[in-house]
Amino acid sequence: MATVIPRTVGESLFWSYANLAMAFTGDRHDKPKYQQIDYIVRNKLYYGLLRGTHQIATFLKDEMEKLDASDACCYCGSQSYLTLDHLIPQFKGGKHSADNLVVACRSCNSSKNALDLMEWMAKKKKFPPLRLLRRYLKLAIQYCVENGLMDVMLEPREGARPKLASLFDDLDKNSISERSEGASPAWPFAIGLIPHRFPDPVDLVARVPTADDCDI
């Protein structure tokens, strides 16, 4: 199926969010590969977001799921030594708010440390669980809308071709090392690690088979 090459930060975030919707619908039919209906859902949502006829869902579903699963780590499922973790670290600009807080065991919290979700997942060579990626993308979109950054052009590569970073490609090891408390990153989230290519349904983790097609 035809793919999209995002040119702006907003297009990148919307394309990733639309692919997330495709992943949720792809999980429901329980087939190893994406079906035509999954691509239709993705394209309809993406172009609807660009035109303003569709909106990003609120954090209500995310918060309800967090409450339902509050007795286990959102990263590994452990029920021991539970803490709260900032999906996007505070010192990078992440808010100390319910939207940015998730339940994590002490081990995962310590391992993630100063990394945000996407940096940590890239370091572990894993694609993020869908529920966490959904929350992360909503936080990133919210930040960019509030700060007027949706139309910022992506860094060009190979002439006029926009830079497309998959979850694991072109990961600068220095970017995932610990930063000092005084560091002031340009982006509070890992803009270069926003995923544009998603695994096939059979390879997805932390599936949510009850999610609505586009109500993600």
The reported pLDDT for the residue numbered 177 is: 36
Residues 89-107, mean pLDDT to the nearest whole number? 94
Q: Over the stretch 188-201, which tens digit does the pLDDT of each residue have?
A: 999 999 999 999 99
Which residues form the domain of 92? 9-197
Which of the four pLDDT bands, split at 50, 70 and 90, describes residue 183?
Answer: very low
Domain-embedded: residue 150: yes
Do 86 and 55 touch, CB atoms closer than 8 A?
Answer: no
Instruction: Note the pTM of the prediction, 2 decimals.
Output: 0.83
Counting the structural domains of the chain, the total is 1
User: For residue 124, is it within any domain?
Assistant: yes
Asked, for residue 204, whether it belongs to a domain, the answer is no
In a domain, 211, yes or no: no
What ranges in 52-129 are assigned the alpha helix state H?
A: 60-68, 106-112, 117-123
Provide the mean pLDDT of the chain: 83
Q: What is the pLDDT of residues 23-57, one digit of tens each?
A: 999 988 888 999 999 999 999 999 999 999 999 99
Name the band, by pLDDT with cuts 50, 70 and 90, for residue 214.
Answer: very low
Q: What does the DSSP 8-state code read for residue 203?
A: G
pLDDT of residue 66: 94
Whether residue 205 is contained in a domain is answered as no
